[in-house]
């Protein structure tokens, strides 16, 4: 890729030399990484570059980056000398962050060596005279780390290294040990301190004045059980209690007047690292302290990171017997879940049936470490519980080597009962939301205000609900907010009662993916429990050192409608399918499941070398917009976040990659207005564009280059894309590889090339991702099939931009000279289009007489260029106009549906049917694309992929059986037509958005939905049978 780039593109980037900040060519960026002034003779090897820069006295920013690389090598050698193997790739990534002075939260699977990393980094820093504090959840872990440290200290002594003092405090220490340890702490006579978080809480006065350079919190979930621990760590990092209070009260701390970020160093260069298996820490407002002072927020939740085979069996009526048969066939290491509607008592009945069959089973109602130990040891073959995201069995277990498969004894589902006199707004809202896909436009207009009002008042506390119930029974009014809630509840019930009385409505409820019944004076709503299924089935597929273990889920279907709803929602939320259970299929899956378990066990025993299993890598994904970045981040659960210089970086795990996702904000560079011919040099027969960073006025939004003040309003409050360059480079240093995921067109390719050039000196492994829809499936496919930059696309965009500049600047100057008005402009596209508009206007002025005539039988025809139009008008007024038809023929015609939208046809219809301007339509389409609801909207192709045909098939088989007729509309090129990414019409989309099944980065407006509806209808029609007329 580099060779092609060097041979095919020539450009100069102003001020982008990583070392001196001077001008640099793309060839130099892609080879040695520094400009010819810093290094006249190009070199490739980083160590040689570093030595040459030192020799020439050219120590700049890039030299400091190379120092970090050298420091990392030293750390890796130190690590290897003590541990006996090199660090994992992720451990090297974390090391770079610490060595660069960055605080962060670790996102990584169990077994990757997070705690070992913390200890090794503390020992390494101790050699440099820096103090460290390691905080762990239990005294047992303190003892374990002290034992590890003593082994490493012995090795250090044998190798002639100075031995740092490592001390620890734990509950089973003898009195003499306690006294000695506390004295050492008081006298600061140590290099590394290891304690529990309880010690931090109880003995904080002993350590509050100690200057720790490195603090490592192991198991942040446990640490955050006491939110005050955050305050104590913040003080150890050099901030004051007043800083904390100012942040909690919404103000800015004195220590943080520049919106403290990860790159704004904490006092005294102190680094804080927090670690946890999942980082599902208690949500507390004190998390804001982490975010504002250290620029990161713990938050990674791995539930959406899965590798599961979803199988189903249609129950024949005896769930208990069928559950026993499955577990007898497939063996131990099983979790059994019952639906919430059945409850824990039913789980106990299932457990009894299993015990009678000789299968040891324990009903897991609350955290029970002893029972877990027995399950791990094989004394229990099965644990049983309720499928709910609140169940300890569904949420609290992380046993990747033990849990092989999950059986659902019934479809996971919830039941909500809403009485005709219901006073709980949350229940009424849930019911109306569930029914909303059925409401036609007229009825939905009545329901929408009620839904909006209910959404604004929930959640409502129990005390207020009781007041409303009492007032309703006594037929009295309330005042203030309570009165408003009461009125909304009464209006909601009236509407609900009227809807339920409609006989047709009851028939069409069969189309829902939820079940609605009327039992006495109650509406009973049965809802598929998607969250419960995801949480519970996810116990069988866990994140570990080599990726994501394979898991197996088997559902015994006892409610077909609930299963239909569950499978549809899982497909929409997770891109996962259900397959029918067969013994052969299950056994084949379990082979892979058991193979992964064996690997996990051997990794834990240390039987694999690091080289054999070190396949997880850290990667940076660079997209154009923040919306797209957030959408991608949430494909894999709740991401951890870092805030750097006002930019949000999301960090999340995806299989064998830890992804850091950041938005570039579109173009970073534009042609300079200073130098060459309008920003282009002509040298030796080559045209070389000169690029400089784009700047934007924070006051009026004007975009420009080469100025330090806004040309429109004169403001000096401007932001430069140079900030983005610095950010991307700093992030590229941290990771093992960079993926450029800008939009899949020539403009996106040029943005991608610019990013490629500026980050290449900091990360050798840079590749391009291309996907035409922002969906989990498309992203995964792109990650498996990365490519190089398409230089032909880049060159096309470069030529287009130069043509814009040359034609536009020169024509505009002609207009200024002619009309003496400097606000006039002309351009490559603008001027010819204006000419075309003028020509059309001239043609319109040439009037042509046309008579549109409609006959009594309803048929009509048009007569053009009639010489006697006025005479016809008079006859029509007098009732004397007749038509003689002497030959009538009838013929049947086949009407084929129009092809799916391309950009131009979408813009035309949006203007004609919806009244939207071109710019507005494109902005709406951009949001729909970035939210993962439509494919890329800049395309001239009508091609429909097999994925697109499958979307149409799913919708039509459900809504219009026998009318599906796939058409490919093949055209040359890689692009696809504009189409929906999900088999949902606008009402269904609205429902799944409001119910939370589909999550998107930003709320959609009514106009977004109108455009989506237009695109959806056109696409679905294109995949239907032709009509006869």
Each residue of 1011-1025: pLDDT tens digit? 999 999 999 999 999
577: phi then psi, degrees, rounded to nearest 5:
-115, 155
Q: Are 498 and 487 in contact (CB under 8 A)?
A: no
pLDDT at 513 over 80: no
Q: Are 348 and 385 in contact (CB under 8 A)?
A: no
SS3 (DSSP) at 905:
helix
Rounded to two decimals, the pTM is 0.85
Q: Kindly state the percentage of the chain with pLDDT values over 70.
A: 93
Pairs from 452-456 (Cβ < 8 Å, separation ≥ 24): 453/488, 453/491, 454/425, 454/428, 454/429, 454/488, 454/492, 455/429
Q: Kindly state the percentage of the chain with pLDDT values over 90.
A: 51
pLDDT (0 to 100) of residue 849: 77
pLDDT at 142 over 60: yes
854 plus 840 within the same structural domain: no
**Cα–Cα separations (whole angstroms), residue 730 to 63, 77, 242, 293:** 14, 24, 31, 19
The whole-number average pLDDT for the span 85-108 is 89
Q: Angle CA(187)–CA(193)–CA(199) in degrees, nearest 5?
A: 95
pLDDT (0 to 100) of residue 250: 66
How is the beta sheet containing 718-720 ordered, strand by strand? 703-704, 695-697, 718-720
How far apart are alpha carbons 363 and 382 in whole angstroms? 9
Q: Pick the last residue of a domain from 261, 279, 296.
A: 296
pLDDT at 68 over 50: yes
pLDDT (0 to 100) of residue 284: 58
Which residues have C-beta within 8 Å of that of residue 992, sequence separation ≥ 6?
Answer: 569, 572, 984, 998
Q: What is the signed CA dihedral for 575, 581, 582, 588, rounded to 10 degrees?
A: 50
1014 plus 914 within the same structural domain: yes
pLDDT at 421 over 50: yes
Q: Which of 13, 124, 756, 936 is catalytic?
A: 936
pLDDT (0 to 100) of residue 3: 39
| pLDDT band, residue 422 (cuts 50/70/90) | confident
The whole-number average pLDDT for the span 856-865 is 77
pLDDT (0 to 100) of residue 18: 94
Cα dihedral across residues 774, 777, 781, 786: positive or negative: positive
pLDDT (0 to 100) of residue 303: 60
Q: 85-94 burial by CB neighbour count: b if 16+ within 10 A, else e?
A: ebbbbbbbbb
The DSSP secondary structure of 392-431, one letter per residue, reads HHHHS---TTT--EEEESS--EEEEEEETT---HHHHHHH
**Cα–Cα separations (whole angstroms), residue 550 to 310, 553, 596:** 11, 10, 7
State pLDDT tens for residues 23-50: 999 999 999 999 999 998 888 888 888 8
pLDDT at 762 over 50: yes
Q: Are strands 515-519 and 24-25 parallel, antiparallel or unpaired?
A: unpaired
Q: Are 18 and 761 in contact (CB under 8 A)?
A: yes
pLDDT (0 to 100) of residue 1007: 97
Q: Are 53 and 34 in contact (CB under 8 A)?
A: yes
How far apart are alpha carbons 223 and 658 in whole angstroms? 23
| pLDDT band, residue 518 (cuts 50/70/90) | confident
* Token code pair at residue 239: 């901030």
Domain count, the chain: 7
Which residues have C-beta within 8 Å of that of residue 417, sequence separation ≥ 6?
Answer: 427, 522, 523, 524, 525
Pairs from 834-841 (Cβ < 8 Å, separation ≥ 24): none
pLDDT at 144 over 70: yes
SS3 (DSSP) at 917:
coil
The DSSP secondary structure of 827-838, one letter per residue, reads -TTHHHHHHHHH
175 plus 291 within the same structural domain: yes
Q: Residue 19: which of 72, 84, 64 has the closest Cα?
A: 64
Any idea which of 279-288, 570-579, 939-948, 976-985 has the lowest mean pLDDT? 279-288
pLDDT (0 to 100) of residue 76: 95
Residue 332 lies in a domain: yes
SS3 (DSSP) at 516:
strand
Residue 697 lies in a domain: no
* Token code pair at residue 58: 């050219």
Quickly tell me which residue has 């958005």 as its tokens: 993
* Token code pair at residue 911: 């203007």
State pLDDT tens for residues 571-604: 988 889 999 999 999 999 999 999 999 988 888 7
How far apart are alpha carbons 535 and 548 in whole angstroms? 15
**Structural domain that includes position 555:** 304-411+530-603
254 plus 146 within the same structural domain: yes
pLDDT at 521 over 80: no
Residue 721 lies in a domain: no
Residue 608 lies in a domain: no
pLDDT at 289 over 50: yes
| 628 backbone φψ class: left, alpha, beta (φ>0; ψ -120 to 50) | alpha
Residue 126 lies in a domain: yes
pLDDT (0 to 100) of residue 959: 86
907 plus 945 within the same structural domain: yes
| 129 backbone φψ class: left, alpha, beta (φ>0; ψ -120 to 50) | left
1008 plus 947 within the same structural domain: yes
* Token code pair at residue 1007: 């106009």
154 plus 292 within the same structural domain: yes
pLDDT (0 to 100) of residue 580: 97
- H-helix segments, 84-212: 89-99, 114-126, 139-158, 175-187, 197-202, 204-207
pLDDT (0 to 100) of residue 123: 97
Terminal Cα-to-Cα distance of the chain (whole angstroms):
56
359 plus 394 within the same structural domain: yes
Asked about 936 being catalytic, the answer comes back as yes
pLDDT at 385 over 90: yes
732: phi then psi, degrees, rounded to nearest 5:
-65, -30
The whole-number average pLDDT for the span 365-386 is 88
| pLDDT band, residue 441 (cuts 50/70/90) | low
| 698 backbone φψ class: left, alpha, beta (φ>0; ψ -120 to 50) | alpha
**CA-only gyration radius of the chain, Å:** 34
371: phi then psi, degrees, rounded to nearest 5:
-65, -35
State pLDDT tens for residues 654-691: 878 889 999 999 999 999 999 889 999 988 888 899 99
Residue 91 lies in a domain: no
pLDDT (0 to 100) of residue 261: 40
The whole-number average pLDDT for the span 293-315 is 80
How far apart are alpha carbons 335 and 4 in whole angstroms? 54
240 plus 376 within the same structural domain: no
pLDDT at 886 over 70: yes
Q: Pick the last residue of a domain from 570, 603, 636.
A: 603
How far apart are alpha carbons 45 and 30 in whole angstroms? 12
**Cα–Cα separations (whole angstroms), residue 78 to 149, 155, 159, 677, 796:** 14, 11, 11, 55, 50
388 plus 535 within the same structural domain: yes
How far apart are alpha carbons 443 and 679 in whole angstroms? 59
**Cα–Cα separations (whole angstroms), residue 109 to 236, 297, 367, 570, 656:** 28, 18, 22, 24, 10
| pLDDT band, residue 1 (cuts 50/70/90) | very low
State pLDDT tens for residues 216-269: 998 777 777 777 888 899 899 888 888 888 887 765 444 443 444 433 344 557
How far apart are alpha carbons 249 and 261 in whole angstroms? 19
pLDDT (0 to 100) of residue 637: 77
Q: What is the mean pLDDT of the chain?
A: 87
152 plus 287 within the same structural domain: yes
Q: Pick the last residue of a domain from 584, 603, 622.
A: 603
Let me know how long the chain is.
1029
The whole-number average pLDDT for the span 940-951 is 93
Residue 742 lies in a domain: no
**Cα–Cα separations (whole angstroms), residue 927 to 20, 353, 518, 773, 991:** 39, 53, 40, 12, 19
430 plus 576 within the same structural domain: no
Residue 612 lies in a domain: no
State pLDDT tens for residues 712-730: 899 999 999 999 999 999 9
pLDDT (0 to 100) of residue 956: 94
The whole-number average pLDDT for the span 810-819 is 87
| pLDDT band, residue 350 (cuts 50/70/90) | very high
The whole-number average pLDDT for the span 884-898 is 83
């Amino acid at each position: 890729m580099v060779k092609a780039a060097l041979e095919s593109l020539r450009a100069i980037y102003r001020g982008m030399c990583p070392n001196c900040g001077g001008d640099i060519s793309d060839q130099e960026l892609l080879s040695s990484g520094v400009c010819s002034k810093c290094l006249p003779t190009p070199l490739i090897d980083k160590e040689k570059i570093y030595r040459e820069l030192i020799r020439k006295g050219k120590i700049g920013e890039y030299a400091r980056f190379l120092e970090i690389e050298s420091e990392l090598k030293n750390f890796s050698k130190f690590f290897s000398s003590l541990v006996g193997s090199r660090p994992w790739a992720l451990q090297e990534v974390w090391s770079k962050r610490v060595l660069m002075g960055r605080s962060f939260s670790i996102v990584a699977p169990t077994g990757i060596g997070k705690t070992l990393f913390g200890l090794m980094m503390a020992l390494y820093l101790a050699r440099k005279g820096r103090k460290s504090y390691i905080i762990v959840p239990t005294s047992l872990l303190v003892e374990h780390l002290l034992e590890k440290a003593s082994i490493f200290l012995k090795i250090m002594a044998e190798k002639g290294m100075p031995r740092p003092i490592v001390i620890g405090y734990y509950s089973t220490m003898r009195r003499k040990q306690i006294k000695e340890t506390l004295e050492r702490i008081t006298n600061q006579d140590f290099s590394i301190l290891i304690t529990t978080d309880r010690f931090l809480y109880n003995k904080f006065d002993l350590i509050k004045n100690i200057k720790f350079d490195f603090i490592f919190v192991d198991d942040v979930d446990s640490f955050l059980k006491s939110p005050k621990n955050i305050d104590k760590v913040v003080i150890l990092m050099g901030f004051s209690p007043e800083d904390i209070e100012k942040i909690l009260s919404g103000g800015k701390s004195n220590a943080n007047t520049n919106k403290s970020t990860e790159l704004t160093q904490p006092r005294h260069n102190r680094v804080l690292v927090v670690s946890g298996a999942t980082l599902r820490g208690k949500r507390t407002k004190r998390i804001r302290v982490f975010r504002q002072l250290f620029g990161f927020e713990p938050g990674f939740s791995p539930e959406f990171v899965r590798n599961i085979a979803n199988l189903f069996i249609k129950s024949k009526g005896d769930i208990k017997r069928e559950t026993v048969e499955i577990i007898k066939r497939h063996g131990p290491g099983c979790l059994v879940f019952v639906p919430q509607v059945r409850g824990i008592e039913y789980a106990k009945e299932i457990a009894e049936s299993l015990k009678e069959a000789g299968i040891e089973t324990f009903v897991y109602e609350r955290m029970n470490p002893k029972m877990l130990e027995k399950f791990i040891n094989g004394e229990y073959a099965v644990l049983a519980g309720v499928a709910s995201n609140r169940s300890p069995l569904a949420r609290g277990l992380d046993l990747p080597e033990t849990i092989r498969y999950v059986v659902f004894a019934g479809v996971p589902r919830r039941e909500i009962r809403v009485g005709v006199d219901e006073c709980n707004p949350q229940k009424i809202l849930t019911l109306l939301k569930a029914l909303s896909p059925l409401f036609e436009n007229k009825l939905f207009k009545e329901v929408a205000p009620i839904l909006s009002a209910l959404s604004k008042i929930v959640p409502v506390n129990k005390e207020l609900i009781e007041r409303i119930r009492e007032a309703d029974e006594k037929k009295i009014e309330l005042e203030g907010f309570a009165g408003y809630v009461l009125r909304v509840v009464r209006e909601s019930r009236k509407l609900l009662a009227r809807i339920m009385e409609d006989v047709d409505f009851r028939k069409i409820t069969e189309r829902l993916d939820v079940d609605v019944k009327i039992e006495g004076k109650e509406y009973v709503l049965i809802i598929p429990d998607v969250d419960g299924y995801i949480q519970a089935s996810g116990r069988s597929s866990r994140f570990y050192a080599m990726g994501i273990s394979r898991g197996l889920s088997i559902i015994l279907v006892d409610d077909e409608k609930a299963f239909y709803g569950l499978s549809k929602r899982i497909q929409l939320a997770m891109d996962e399918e259900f397959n029918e259970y067969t013994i052969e299929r299950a056994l084949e899956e379990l082979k892979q499941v058991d193979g992964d378990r064996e690997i996990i066990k051997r990794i834990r025993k240390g039987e694999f070398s690091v080289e054999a299993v070190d396949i997880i890598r850290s990667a940076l994904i660079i997209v154009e917009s923040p919306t797209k970045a957030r959408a991608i981040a949430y494909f894999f659960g709740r991401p951890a976040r870092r805030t750097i210089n006002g930019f949000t970086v999301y960090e999340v795990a995806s299989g064998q990659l830890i992804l850091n996702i950041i938005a570039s904000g579109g173009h970073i560079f534009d042609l300079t207005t200073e130098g060459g011919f309008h920003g282009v040099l002509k040298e030796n027969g080559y045209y070389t564009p000169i690029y400089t960073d784009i700047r934007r006025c924070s006051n009026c939004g004007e975009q420009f280059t080469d100025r330090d003040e806004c040309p429109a309003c004169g403001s000096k409050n401007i932001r430069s894309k140079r900030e983005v360059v610095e950010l991307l480079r700093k992030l590229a240093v941290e990771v093992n590889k960079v993926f450029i995921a800008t939009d899949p067109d020539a403009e996106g390719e040029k943005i991608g090339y610019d990013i490629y050039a500026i980050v290449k000196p900091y990360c050798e492994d840079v590749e391009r991702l291309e996907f035409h829809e922002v969906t989990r499936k498309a992203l995964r496919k792109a990650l498996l099939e990365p490519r190089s930059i398409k230089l032909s696309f880049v060159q096309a965009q470069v030529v287009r931009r130069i043509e814009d500049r040359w034609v536009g600047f020169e024509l505009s100057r002609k207009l200024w000279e002619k009309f003496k008005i400097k606000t006039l402009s002309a351009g490559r596209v603008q001027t010819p289009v204006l000419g075309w508009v003028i020509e059309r206007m001239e043609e319109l002025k040439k009037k042509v007489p046309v008579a549109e005539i409609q006959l009594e039988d309803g048929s009509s025809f048009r007569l053009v260029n009639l010489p006697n139009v006025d005479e016809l008008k008079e006859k029509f007024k007098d009732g004397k106009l007749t038509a003689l038809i002497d030959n009538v023929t009838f013929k049947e015609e086949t009407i084929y549906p129009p092809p799916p939208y391309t950009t131009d046809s979408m813009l035309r219809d949006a203007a004609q049917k919806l009244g939207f301007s071109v710019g507005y339509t494109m902005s709406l389409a951009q949001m729909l694309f970035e939210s993962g609801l439509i494919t890329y909207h800049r395309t001239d192709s009508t091609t429909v992929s097999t994925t697109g045909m499958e979307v149409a098939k799913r919708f039509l088989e459900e809504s219009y059986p026998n009318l599906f007729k796939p058409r490919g509309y093949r055209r040359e090129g890689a692009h696809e037509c504009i189409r929906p990414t999900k088999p949902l019409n606008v009402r269904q989309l609205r429902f799944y958005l409001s119910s939370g099944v589909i999550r998107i980065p930003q709320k959609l407006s009514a106009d977004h939905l109108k455009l989506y509806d237009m695109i959806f209808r056109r696409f679905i029609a294109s995949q239907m049978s032709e009509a006869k007329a």
